[in-house]
Structure 1
Amino acid sequence: MTCEELVELVTAFLDGALDPEAERRFVEHLAICDGCEIYVEQMRRTIAEVGQVEPESLSTETRDSLLEAFRAFPRD
């Protein structure tokens, strides 16, 4: 597995949604790639922190900015 493939699959991995073969390849790559290991840990921390944010606590400006960023994200 390449680093690019890992980045594409990180959400599925963290959700436990990869098939066993893809998960095996993902974990094997993490074992040999410090950069991807750090990336996955950063994603875990981000998810944990963002999961603590109450939607009502965001200002309208922040909410709109986030929604705009997500809408602008390239889709395959």
Structure 2
Amino acid sequence: MTTPEYIEWWVRRINDNIPEPSHVSSQSIEEHLRAVPSELEIIKQDFERRNAELEKQIEQMEEEKINLRLDTDV
């Protein structure tokens, strides 16, 4: 059995734990959390950037290889 004071305290306690929307920031919670990339996302982006650089280097080396073959054929 609970007293009315306890029920009032409990309701206040629960409501105190609910974050109220901030009028200072217009971002939603999801947008705010998305703005800070996780460590895994940072590593993934770094990997993709490095992979793209290496693919470009491979393409350049293959072009050089073809040009060298043409030079030797002449």
Shorter-chain TM-score: what band?
under 0.3
TM-score by length of structure 2 reads 0.28
- Give the structure with higher Rg (CA): 2
Question: Which structure's relative contact order is higher, taking Cα pairs within 8 Å and 6+ residues apart?
Answer: 1
